[in-house]
Amino acid sequence: MIYPIKSYQKTFIVLSISLVLIFILNVSLGSVFIPFKQTLLALLNENTQNDAWKTIILNYRLPKAITAILVGSGLSISGLLMQTLFRNPLAGPFVLGISSGASLGVAILILGASFIGVNNTAFAYTNWGLAIAASLGAFLVLSAVLLAAIKVRNTMSILIIGLMFGSLTAAVISVLAYFSSASQLQQYLFWSFGSLGNLTWHEITTFFVIFLIGLLLVVFIIKPLNSLLLGENYAKSLGVNIKLTRNITLIATSLLTGVITAFSGPIAFIGLAVPHLTKLLFKTSNHKTLIPAVAISGAIIMLICDSIAQLPNSEYTLPINAITSLFGAPIIIWLLIRKRKIY
Amino acid sequence: MKNTQNHIIKTTNLSIGYTSKKHQKIIASNLNITLEEGNLVCLLGENGIGKSTLLRTLTKVQPAINGTIFINQINLNEISNLNLSKQLSVVLTEKLPESSLTVFELVALGRQPYTNWVGQLNAKDIEIVEMALKETNTKQLAQAKYYQLSDGQLQKVLIARALAQNTAIIVLDEPTAHLDIHHTIETFTLLKKLAKEFGKTILISTHEINLALQLADQLWLMTPQKFVTGKTNDLIENNQLNTLFNSDLIHFNKKLKQFTILNS
C-alpha cells in the first residue's frame, strides 16, 4: 500500500482561479468608474472607448495590483519563515526589526529635518526618497539584530533582541515626533499607514527583482525548514547545517520584507495572520505545500484589502494598514475560537 | 552474528562536561568505552550523574572536553553531520515543537539524509518508511497528526523515525520516561527486536534497571567514582550493581536479579 501523501491540487486550483478573479476585480474598481468590459480590453492592451481609461488601468491600477500581490505574498512567506524558525506562532516578518528600522529611517528623513534645519520636504515626498531612507534604516537596525544573532546561540534570544530594537527605535521616533511640526508629523503618519499605489513601472521592476532573489533563497531552505519542525537537535541529527539554514532564512526574510517596507511602508498584520489562515485551510506543516500556499493566499488577501481600501467610486482611499487589521483581526479571532488548534 | 571485535563506537580517554569562558565543568573523565555491533546497551546511573551529557557527546550534539570518539573506526570530529546522520540516529527526550505533521510525514523526515534538495521521497524511501511503521506496529496511525497520539504511541513513532533513518546505531535518551509499565515493556522489547533482527546497535539511557537487566546485552554503569561496562551477567556476578546507588535504602539482590528495599 502506498500512502497518499496528500496533494492539495484542488485547493491550489481554486486559490489560483480566485487570485485571477480578484486581481481583475481589483483593477476594475477605483475612484473613476470604468465599465468592466473596458477594463478587460485595457488589460489586454486593446483600445478602450476613452483613452484616459486605458492610461488609468495600465499606469495606475495595474502597478498597484501587482504591488499588492508582491507585498501580500512576500510578507506572508516571511511570516511563515519566522514562525517556523522561532517555533513561535506570534512571530511575524517584522521581528528582525526591519519595520522599526525603516520607520526610523523615514522618521529621520521627515521629522529630523527640523533638527538640522534643512528643508528636505521636496525630496522626502518622492518614492525614492522614502524608499532609500526606509532601506537605510531597515538595513542598519537589521544589521545590528543580525550581528547580535551571530553572537547568541539561542534562536529564541534573537526574537527578543529584535523586539528590544523595536522598542529602542520607537523611543527615538517618539523623541523626534515631539520636536516636529504638525505637517511633518502628518507626513510621517501617512507613510506609516502603508501605501500600495504610486509606484512607477521602473520602481516595480526593482521591487520585483529583489523579491525574486529572496524567493529563490526560500526555495533552497524548504527541506531544512521541514526538519526544523522536529526541533533543532533532531534537525542536526538529520545532517542539517543549522547555522547556515538560520542565516539563509534571515537573509531571505530581510530581502523580502526590506524591499516591501521600502516601497510600501510598514504593512501590518498580513505577515502574522496569513500563515495561520493558510494552515487552517491546508492543515499541513510541510513547507513544500505551505510556501506556495501562503504566497497565493497572501496575494489574494492583500488584493481584497486594497479593493476595500479604495472605496469603489469614491475619491477617498483609506489607509491600507487600517483595512488589513480592521478586517483581518476579527477573522483570525473568529477562526481561533471556532477551530481552537492553530499551528 | 558479526565479528564481535567490531567496535562500532569506541572512546579513548574521553572527558565529558561543559566549558564556558571561565569554568570547565568535567562530569566524567578518562572514559574508555567500546560498543559492539548489534548489541543492546543500557546506560544506568542515578539522576544528574551525566548520562545525557555522555549521550550528547557521543552523538556530537556537544563537543568532548578531551579524548577521542570513534564511530566505525573514524574520529567523530572528522565525520560531517550529514555523514553521521547516515550512521547514527537519535530519539530525544525533548518535546517536539507544535506542528501539524502526520505520523507518516514525521517518520518520513527520517529519510532526509538520503532525499534530494527539496526532500522528495522516491519509491524506495516510501517503502522504507512503511517498513519502519510496520516494524514498530504504528502503520494504522500513519495518517493521524502526531499531537493526537498518546505518549506510548508517540515513542514508537519516534523509534520508527529513527529506524527509517536507516542507521547502524540508534541512541535513545530515556525513551520510557513518561510511559506506564505496559508501554515501557513494549518499547524495550521493540528495541531488543531491532537489535536482534536488524543488527542495530542500540544505546539507551534509562532508569528501568530491572528491564535493563533482563534485556540488555551489555550495561554501562555510571557512578561518581567510576564508569564500569560489561556483560550484564558478569556485572551481577562481580557485585558491580551494588555500587550503582550510594544509598542505605536499597541493595541489589543477586538471586532475584533486582534491587530490593533494605529492612533496617
ipTM comes to 0.93
Within this chain, do residues A96 and A242 fall inside the same structural domain, yes or no?
Answer: no
Within this chain, do residues A211 and A73 fall inside the same structural domain, yes or no?
Answer: yes
Q: Which residues of B touch A237 (CB under 8 A)?
A: 59, 61, 84-85, 88-90
**pTM confidence score:** 0.89
pLDDT recorded at residue A151: 77
Contacts of A186 (CB under 8 A, 6+ apart): none
- pLDDT at residue A127 tops 90: no
pLDDT recorded at residue A74: 96
**Type of residue at B154:** L
Within this chain, do residues A121 and A242 fall inside the same structural domain, yes or no?
Answer: no
Which of residues A137, A159, A193 is at a domain's end?
A: A193
pLDDT recorded at residue B2: 43
Q: Does A7 touch chain B (CB under 8 A)?
A: no
Interface of B with A (CB under 8 A): 59, 61, 80-86, 88-90, 92, 94, 96-101, 104-106, 109-110, 112-113, 115, 117-119, 121, 126, 129-130, 142-143, 147, 165
Give me the DSSP letters along A140-160. HHHHHHHHHHHH---HHHHHH
Q: Which residues of B touch A155 (CB under 8 A)?
A: none
Within this chain, do residues A180 and A206 fall inside the same structural domain, yes or no?
Answer: no
Cβ <8 Å between A283 and B100: yes
Cβ <8 Å between A285 and B88: no
Cβ <8 Å between B109 and A230: yes
- pLDDT at residue A228 tops 90: yes
Which of residues A154, A172, A193 is at a domain's end?
A: A193
User: Among residues B61, B87, B90, which one has the least CA distance to residue B74?
Assistant: B87
Cβ <8 Å between B82 and A239: yes
- pLDDT at residue A150 tops 80: no
- pLDDT at residue B173 tops 90: yes
The rounded mean pLDDT for chain B is 91
Please list the residues that pair with B36 across neighbouring strands.
Answer: B7
pLDDT recorded at residue A92: 84
- pLDDT at residue B235 tops 50: yes
Give me the DSSP letters along A179-228. TS-HHHHHHHHHHHT-------HHHHHHHHHHHHHHHHHHHHTHHHHHHG
Report the phi/psi class of residue B250: left, alpha or beta, with left for phi > 0 and alpha for psi in -120 to 50.
beta
Q: Does A222 touch chain B (CB under 8 A)?
A: yes
How distant, in Å, are the alpha carbons of A4, A253, B144, B148 from that of B100? 16, 23, 10, 10
> What domains appear along chain B, each with residue ranges and CATH number?
39-49+87-261 (3.40.50.300)
Within this chain, do residues A212 and A171 fall inside the same structural domain, yes or no?
Answer: no
pLDDT digits (tens, 9 = 90+) for A43-78: 888 888 888 898 899 999 999 999 999 999 999 999
Classify B181 as helix, strand or coil.
helix
pLDDT recorded at residue A340: 57
pLDDT-derived band at A115, boundaries 50, 70, 90: low
Q: Which residues of A touch B98 (CB under 8 A)?
A: 87, 89, 343
Which of residues A193, A210, A226 is at a domain's end?
A: A193
Structural domain boundaries, residue A52? 1-85+198-343
Number of domain units in chain A: 2
Percent over 90 (pLDDT), chain B: 75
User: Among residues A75, A39, A77, which one has the least CA distance to residue A55?
Assistant: A39
Range among A140-149, A161-170, B120-129 with highest mean pLDDT value: B120-129
Mean per-residue pLDDT for A124-146? 80
- pLDDT at residue A164 tops 80: yes
Report the phi/psi class of residue A269: left, alpha or beta, with left for phi > 0 and alpha for psi in -120 to 50.
left
pLDDT recorded at residue A13: 95
Percent over 70 (pLDDT), chain A: 92
Cβ <8 Å between B109 and A3: no
Displacement of CA A87 from its chain's centroid (Å):
20
- pLDDT at residue A4 tops 70: no
Cβ <8 Å between A237 and B101: no
Q: Does A44 touch chain B (CB under 8 A)?
A: no
Within this chain, do residues A125 and A7 fall inside the same structural domain, yes or no?
Answer: no
pLDDT recorded at residue B192: 96
pLDDT digits (tens, 9 = 90+) for B180-203: 999 999 999 999 999 999 999 999
Within this chain, do residues A73 and A187 fall inside the same structural domain, yes or no?
Answer: no
Mutate which: A237, A291, A341, vs B, most B CBs within 10 A: A237
Mean per-residue pLDDT for A127-137? 82
Percent over 70 (pLDDT), chain B: 98
Within this chain, do residues A81 and A206 fall inside the same structural domain, yes or no?
Answer: yes
Instruction: Read off the C-alpha cell for A79.
Output: 511570516
Within this chain, do residues A53 and A97 fall inside the same structural domain, yes or no?
Answer: no
Within this chain, do residues A323 and A214 fall inside the same structural domain, yes or no?
Answer: yes
Mean per-residue pLDDT for B140-149? 94
Within this chain, do residues A189 and A214 fall inside the same structural domain, yes or no?
Answer: no
What's A17's domain CATH number?
1.10.3470.10
